[in-house]
């Protein structure tokens, strides 16, 4: 783990410690497992978002993708009684396809990622609402999906499956990003696309790959989220969730300029965001302050990070002289 991740971990530990002093229920296994569940739900697509951000892009369409794939999924399972493995495959493939489309529009058509995915945000939300005729689809009357409910929303040894899914995804993507040639290319494209292209790397394919992976992870998250809420309201499902993912990625050390970031960092960013929302409830802070608390802590974290980075840049001479050096 790098310096940023350790700093973030420190912040998480401090906040967790303060919260648990104020209300010991924070550390109860019930609460920790609830949080683990939410960390799993939000972490998986945050990792996808992180990959895109590392290439210097951004994906604003995630929340709308959830709504669109969510209503398609429930429609297949509830109204058309399609076998759930097929419905899950449809959703995963759908996410992959949308990601691929975004990648093509960014690399082939030369559109800016912000524009492409902003259009996605609008189009998919509208499509989801049209598809359902603006009505909520609920799992309420479906009876043939018990196995899937267990798989997506169940627990093994008390650990929520969404959290296990996150761990698996983090390991796989972590290896891809930090240990594979493709991962090196992702960072290279994010740092300097032109230079990367001139080194003979097919940058278009690399960037598209990031969007495809992001889309696939969004598809996976859709299934998990649907079983968390048990119903999908096409106008509100997943609203603003892209911002949670972007916040988690940025907290975790991804630079919106691209070329920086790590999977452990993104996961820790998600952990911090979920802890913040949990502590608002656990400490009985008025719900109205929820977003303000989140924004405040992110701002403080960003300022502290900036401050430390500057000190580190200024520090090397002092370290050479054997004086106090910041932990590396």
Query: Alpha helix (H) ranges present in 133-262?
Result: 146-153, 161-179, 181-191, 193-198, 203-229, 241-251
Cα–Cα distance between 3 and 40 in angstroms, integer? Answer: 24
Quick one: CA torsion of 264, 270, 276, 282, rounded to 10 degrees? -100
* φ/ψ bin of 253: left (φ > 0), alpha (ψ from -120 to 50), beta (otherwise): left
Which one among 12, 15, 20, 34 touches other proteins, defined by CB under 8 A? 34
96 binds other proteins, rule: CB under 8 A? no
Query: Would you give the DSSP letter of residue 79?
Result: I
Q: Say whether residue 49 binds other proteins (CB under 8 A).
A: no
Query: Residue 156: helix, strand or coil by DSSP?
Result: strand
CA 218 to chain centre: 8
Of these, 196, 233, 262, 270, which contacts other proteins (CB under 8 A)?
Answer: 233
236 binds other proteins (CB under 8 A): yes
CB of 276 to other proteins, least distance (A): 12
Please answer whether residues 63 and 238 qualify as being in contact, where contact means their C-beta atoms are separated by less than 8 angstroms.
Answer: yes
Of residues 46, 243, 204, the one with CA closest to residue 111: 204
Using the rule CB under 8 A, is 64 a contact of other proteins? Answer: no
Which of these segments, 22-30, 48-56, 167-175, 199-207, binds other proteins (CB under 8 A)?
A: 22-30
Q: Is the dihedral of CA 106, 107, 108, 109 positive or negative?
A: positive
CA 178, 183, 184, 187 torsion-angle sign: negative
Interaction of residue 138 with other proteins, rule CB under 8 A: yes
* Residue 232: its H or E element: strand 231-232
Choose the stretch contacting other proteins; rule: CB under 8 A; options: 7-15, 93-101, 139-147, 171-179. 139-147
First to last CA, the chain: 10
Q: How far is the CB of 25 from other proteins (least distance, A)?
A: 5
Using DSSP's 3-state secondary structure scheme, residue 1 falls into coil
Contact segment (CB under 8 A) with other proteins among 52-60, 185-193, 224-232, 319-327 equals 224-232
Q: Does 144 bind other proteins (CB under 8 A)?
A: no
The answer to whether 132 contacts other proteins (rule: CB under 8 A) is: yes
Is 146 one of the binding residues for other proteins (CB under 8 A)? no
Question: Angle at the Cα of 241 (from 39 to 256), degrees rounded to 5?
Answer: 95
Smallest separation (angstroms) from other proteins to the CB of 126? 8
Of 23, 97, 192, 205, the one binding other proteins (CB under 8 A) is 23
Stretch that binds other proteins, among 112-120, 138-146, 211-219, 253-261 (CB under 8 A): 138-146
Q: Which residues pair with 137 in a beta bridge?
A: 232
Instruction: Report the residue number, 1 or 289, with the smaller CB distance to other proteins.
Output: 289
CB of 140 vs other proteins, minimal distance in Å = 2
Assess 163 for contact with other proteins (CB under 8 A).
Answer: no
Nearer CB in complex with other proteins: 65/105? 65
- By CB under 8 A, is residue 134 in contact with other proteins? yes
Size of the site for other proteins (CB under 8 A): 42
- The site map against other proteins for 270-299 (x = CB under 8 A) is -------xx--xx-x--xx-----------
SS3 sequence of 28-68 = CHHHHHHHHHHHHHHHHHHHHHHHHHHCCCCCCCHHHHHHH
User: Which residues lie near other proteins (CB under 8 A)?
Assistant: 23, 25, 28, 30-31, 34, 38, 41, 79, 125, 129-136, 138-141, 225, 228-237, 239-240, 277-278, 281-282, 284, 287-288
């Amino acid at each position: 783990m790098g310096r940023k991740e350790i700093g973030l971990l420190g912040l998480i530990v401090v906040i967790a410690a303060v919260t648990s002093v104020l209300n010991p229920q924070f550390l109860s296994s019930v609460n920790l497992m609830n949080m683990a569940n939410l960390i799993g739900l939000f972490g998986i697509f945050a990792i996808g978002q992180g990959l895109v951000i590392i290439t210097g892009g951004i994906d604003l369409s995630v929340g709308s993708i959830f709504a669109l794939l969510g209503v398609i999924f429930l429609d297949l399972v509830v109204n058309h009684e399609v076998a759930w493995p097929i419905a899950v495959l449809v959703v995963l493939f759908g996410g992959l396809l949308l990601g691929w489309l975004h990648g093509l529009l960014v690399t082939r058509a030369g559109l800016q990622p912000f524009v492409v995915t902003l259009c996605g945000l609008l189009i998919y939300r509208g499509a989801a609402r049209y598809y359902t005729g603006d009505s909520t689809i609920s799992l309420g009357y479906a009876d043939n999906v018990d196995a899937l409910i267990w798989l997506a929303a169940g627990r093994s040894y008390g650990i929520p499956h969404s959290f296990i899914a996150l761990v698996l995804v983090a390991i796989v993507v972590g290896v891809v990003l930090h240990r594979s040639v493709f991962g090196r290319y992702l960072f290279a494209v994010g740092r300097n696309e032109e230079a990367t292209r001139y080194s003979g790397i097919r940058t278009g394919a690399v960037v598209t790959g990031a969007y495809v992976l992001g889309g696939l992870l969004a598809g996976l998250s859709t299934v998990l989220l649907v079983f968390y809420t048990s119903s999908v309201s096409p106008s509100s499902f997943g609203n603003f969730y892209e911002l949670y993912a972007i916040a988690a990625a940025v907290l975790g050390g991804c630079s919106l300029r691209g070329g920086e970031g790590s999977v452990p960092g993104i996961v820790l960013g998600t952990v911090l965001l979920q802890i913040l929302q949990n502590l608002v409830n656990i400490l009985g802070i008025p719900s109205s302050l929820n977003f303000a608390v989140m924004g405040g802590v992110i701002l403080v974290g960003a300022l502290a990070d900036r401050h430390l980075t500057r000190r580190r840049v200024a520090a090397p001479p002092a370290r050479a002289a054997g004086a106090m050096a910041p932990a590396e």
